[in-house]
Amino acid sequence: MRKSLDFLLAAVTAFCALVAVALLVGLVAVIAQRGGPAVNWGFLTEQIRLVGAAGGIFWNLVGTLILLSSALTVCLPLAIGLALVERVWLQREGPRRLLRTLLYTLNGVPGIVFGIFGFVVFVQWCGWGKSWLSGGLVLALMIIPTVAVSLMERLKAVPKKYVEAAAGLGLNRAQIVWAVLLPQAWGGVVTGSLLGLARAAGEVAPIMFTATIFAGATLPKGIKESPVLSLPYHIFILAQDSFDPSVGSKLWGAALVLLALVLFLSVIALPSRLKLHEEANV
Amino acid sequence: MSDCCPPPVATDVAPILEARGLEVRAQGRALIREVNFSVRPGQVFGLIGPSGAGKSTLLRALNRLADLIPGLRVSGDVRLHGQSIYAPGTDVNALREKVGMLFQQPVVFPTSIAENVLFGAKRLRRLSRGERAELVEFALTESALWDEVKDRLKHPATALSVGQQQRLCLARTLAVKSEVILMDEPTSALDPKSTQAIEELIRRLKERHTIVIVTHNVSQARRVTDWIACVCVRDGVGEIVESACCDAVLDNPQCREVIEYLSHA
Amino acid sequence: MTRALSWFFSFVALGAVTLLVGVFVWQSLPVWHHEGWHYITGTKWFFRQKEFGTLPMIYGTVIVALIALVLAAPLGFGAAIFTAEYLPRRVRLAVKVLIELLAGVPSVVYGLLGILLLRDWIYNLFEKFEPLSGDTLLTAGVLLAVMILPTIVTLSDDALRGVSSAQRRAARGLGLTHAETVLSIALPQAKRGLGAALLLALGRALGETIAVFLVVGRQDNNLPEHVFSLRAWLDAGQTITSKLGGSETNIAYGDHVHWGAMVGLALLLLIMTGTVTLLGTGFGKRSDA
């Protein structure tokens, strides 16, 4: 009885793990297999033609990169500021916990809520219409928690002895931040940014009302009424109403490129995350 | 074998636990080798020696807890009542039930005191309510904890002092009716008073149990053990270099490593 | 200077968050005036008739998320038990990395798979119940289950690994089997963390937009007579997120009440996910104590 329970638990949980891994690996395999044939140099460097049935996704890629870089530029100072306030400048545990809770909650806010927020504030109130900048700002707000929390964890892991040694040399808090804390914890900013970008790259909901259109945009020339194309929105639109087989293969191709972009960003974030894992397990 | 002290147990009694050519390797490197000893029923068998010599590893090989540490390979043999515990088909869990273990740091489970005592017992045997209550009282009395906790059996065990926690762990092992109790430096985390309590317990428990104890503390070894095996490092590998009755090893060591160890301890 | 800058940027960020909540409360005021509590309890949404009842969408959101949770929880817990309690450290890390990478797969990619594969499977599988199409609440639920599976696995695995191994060793030392140790030591001690994993996954399921949008059918005013009617799962439905993601958002802005009703949906969603996330983080935290 006890023996069979012992065996049963191992078998059942092994089965669950196998199903979970198979599901997720199978998903990537399906995308790769269907999208693979469509992806070639021309696909990446040509612009869309015939409502997605021909041509490539060049401007979609460019648009996504514009959105990502503007989001990162806006997000970094805010996230670093928040992390420093939480770890260095706030002295009492109460406000610190409040700030952390706020960040965790912000992290759980659905993308569509950010999208509606951006639509109200930037598209309507600021009168920008659909603009790359509204998209960048909205995505920046969305990935702040990821970057800030990642940096906070690293700051926490900086050994106390370094801080004490620096203080012993007569450095003040601000000097310690620049000389010890940020250099030691910079990996947290990098990891957090990569993960944040990986998330932002694939999101449609925050940018569908604020920044991106399906066709007819190239490089933005200003702020007002300057939308961009983007990769996830492209897939989103084509997926809804396309049963044309030639669109189909382009569609899978676009999905494969997006998936590759996102996985690439998460994979380069991996080594430093694993390091943190190892340290946490010692 | 010296005749400095009378044998505490008749040597003609069959050993309850014996190691034969026991060797433990990790990543291809031997940690301890050629370990041979016999423990008679009712004996307190001490393992002393410098730290890092592999005493704890040796202890874990005696009830196959070493199986749970990845990368450890045990060869040679350990026999309980003459039966090999490494023979294929051995019920390892039943073995650990008979050969219990007390760790260096007390490990209590985050439940009540009574639940901690019953933690193993109620899963290994079917117990009625009455039997459970009896068992709790029996085990706690045996481990000299009953008077201190009888009014708060339902309280969380984590609130006990470390010394009390260690006695609770002992009670837990007694409740599953272990014949042999392995103790890995059971008092090194405890204050002098609790240490004294545990030592008194060891002396009392040997009427019904056999104890193998790893200790760093030579005076403790003198106070509680009947027989001592000294584990020292030779050529980078732990070995039993000397094994004799307690006073013989401590007062008249024969072997260079032991003399050196005792002079530092 | 450093200090001032840190505070400045933090206040900008906090200001944005405050503005976000403020915008949703303020902009939705017209619909609360117009409908009162009927906004939440009303079962009909016809914007031309200025009738805004959100109950069918709340129902859709909750049902889809629950289907996802019911399917993903046992599978996820099982997988986490296996990675945390049975796999050697290196293999465990490898599996965990794989699963975490897949947690980052964009929802539009899941949606694409849902629209091109899952939809047909569901339709064929349940053909004898005569669903109108493969776009159903169930389809959305199943798709969401796959999406939240990595979240559940990786957070539960963390929770289980958080239980000290000394406890496990002590239990094995008493003669308990591996399974008994898992069931009596690891699971009970990790239960808060496991609960938090479920709540955070639920939060993600409630707020997921794009994948659900693509397969849920976006059928307004679809509320079954019995809340727990299983047949209704095979009908098209509408969730809060799929409504917000639709074209009605663009039409609504000119009209105060209609726009208020749309923003109100976002506010409801914000409250739902916020509550679940807060509960989840608070729940997980206290397990350290």
Q: Is the pLDDT of residue A223 over 80?
A: no
pLDDT for C289: 33
> Rounded to an integer, what distance in angstroms lies between the CA atom of residue B207 and that of residue B202?
9
Question: Tell me: the pLDDT tens digits for B77-128?
Answer: 999 998 899 988 888 888 888 898 888 888 888 889 999 999 888 888 888 9
Q: Is the pLDDT of residue B217 over 90?
A: no
Q: Domain count of chain C?
A: 1
Measured between CA atoms, how close is C244 to chain A, in angstroms?
Answer: 7
pLDDT for A246: 65
Once rounded to an integer, what is the mean pLDDT over residues A31-58?
80
- Angle, nearest 10°, between helix axes B162-175 and B129-142? 130
Once rounded to an integer, what is the mean pLDDT over residues C86-96?
89
The b-or-e profile of A89-120 (16+ CB within 10 A means b, else e) is bbeeeeebeebbebbbbbbbbbbbbbbbbbbb
pLDDT for B156: 92
> Rounded to an integer, what distance in angstroms lies between the CA atom of residue C76 and that of residue C146?
10
Which of A24, A108, A177 minimises the CB distance to C99? A24
Which of A12, A85, A110 minimises the CB distance to C6? A85
Contacts B110 to C, Cβ<8 Å: 189
List the one residue out of C253, C152, C232 whose CA is nearest residue C193.
C152
Q: Is the pLDDT of residue C86 over 90?
A: yes
Q: Is the pLDDT of residue C286 over 60?
A: no
Mean pLDDT for chain B? Answer: 87
Q: Is the pLDDT of residue C65 over 90?
A: yes
Q: Judged by CB atoms within 8 Å, which residues 86-115 of B form the interface with C?
A: 93-98, 100-101, 103, 105, 107, 109-110
pLDDT for A147: 93
The b-or-e profile of C137-166 (16+ CB within 10 A means b, else e) is bbbbbbbbbbbbbbbbbbbbbbbbbbbeee
Question: Tell me: the pLDDT tens digits for C18-31?
Answer: 999 999 999 888 88
Question: Tell me: the pLDDT tens digits for C135-155?
Answer: 899 999 999 999 999 999 999
Question: Tell me: the pLDDT tens digits for C157-177?
Answer: 999 998 988 899 899 988 898
Question: Tell me: the pLDDT tens digits for C105-126?
Answer: 999 999 999 988 898 899 888 8
Q: Is the pLDDT of residue A15 over 60?
A: yes
* Any domain includes C191: yes
Instruction: Please indicate whether, in this complex, the C-beta atoms of B65 and C173 are within 8 angstroms of each other.
Output: yes
pLDDT for A95: 86
Question: Tell me: the pLDDT tens digits for A164-196?
Answer: 778 877 778 888 888 888 888 888 899 899 989
pLDDT for B11: 61
Question: Tell me: the pLDDT tens digits for B218-241?
Answer: 889 999 999 999 998 888 888 888
Mean pLDDT for chain C? Answer: 88
How is domain B17-264 classified at the CATH fold level?
Rossmann fold (3.40.50)
C49: alpha, beta or left, given left = phi > 0 and alpha = psi -120 to 50? Answer: alpha
Once rounded to an integer, what is the mean pLDDT over residues C43-72?
90
C46: alpha, beta or left, given left = phi > 0 and alpha = psi -120 to 50? Answer: beta
* Any domain includes C32: no
Phi first, then psi, for residue C72 (nearest 5°) are -85, -30
Tell me which chain A residue has its CA closest to the CA of residue C175. Answer: A2
Selected residue of B119, B162, B184 to mutate for chain C interface (largest C Cβ count, 10 A): B119
Averaging pLDDT over each range in B53-57, C42-46, C142-146, C285-289, which range is the top one? C142-146
Measured between CA atoms, how close is C187 to chain B, in angstroms?
Answer: 12
DSSP state of B152: G
Instruction: Please indicate whether, in this complex, the C-beta atoms of B103 and C173 are within 8 angstroms of each other.
Output: yes
CB atoms < 10 A from the CB of C118, how many?
Answer: 22
> Rounded to an integer, what distance in angstroms lies between the CA atom of residue C38 and that of residue C51?
10
Averaging pLDDT over each range in A148-152, A244-248, B216-220, C249-253, which range is the top one? A148-152
pLDDT for B171: 92
* Any domain includes C83: yes
Question: Tell me: the pLDDT tens digits for A49-92?
Answer: 766 667 778 888 989 999 999 999 999 999 999 999 888 888 88
- Read off the CATH number of the domain in which C106 is found: 1.10.3720.10
Question: Tell me: the pLDDT tens digits for B52-77?
Answer: 888 888 999 998 888 888 888 899 99
Q: Is the pLDDT of residue C225 over 90?
A: no
> Rounded to an integer, what distance in angstroms lies between the CA atom of residue C221 and that of residue C240?
12
Q: Is the pLDDT of residue B246 over 60?
A: yes
Q: Is the pLDDT of residue B5 over 60?
A: no
| Domains assigned to chain A | 39-281 (1.10.3720.10)
* Any domain includes C14: no
Question: Tell me: the pLDDT tens digits for B142-184?
Answer: 888 999 999 999 999 989 999 999 999 999 989 988 899 999 9
Reported as a pLDDT band with limits 50, 70 and 90, residue B6 is: very low
Of the listed ranges A215-224, A228-237, C80-89, C235-244, the least confidently predicted one is A215-224
ipTM of the complex: 0.90
Q: Is the pLDDT of residue B4 over 50?
A: no
* Any domain includes C16: no
Q: Is the pLDDT of residue C287 over 50?
A: no
Domain hosting C118: range is 52-286
DSSP state of B47: E
* Any domain includes C208: yes
Which of C76, C97, C273 minimises the CB distance to A108? C273
Q: Is the pLDDT of residue A245 over 80?
A: no
In sign, the C-alpha dihedral spanning B84, B87, B91, B93 is positive
Phi first, then psi, for residue B15 (nearest 5°) are -65, 145
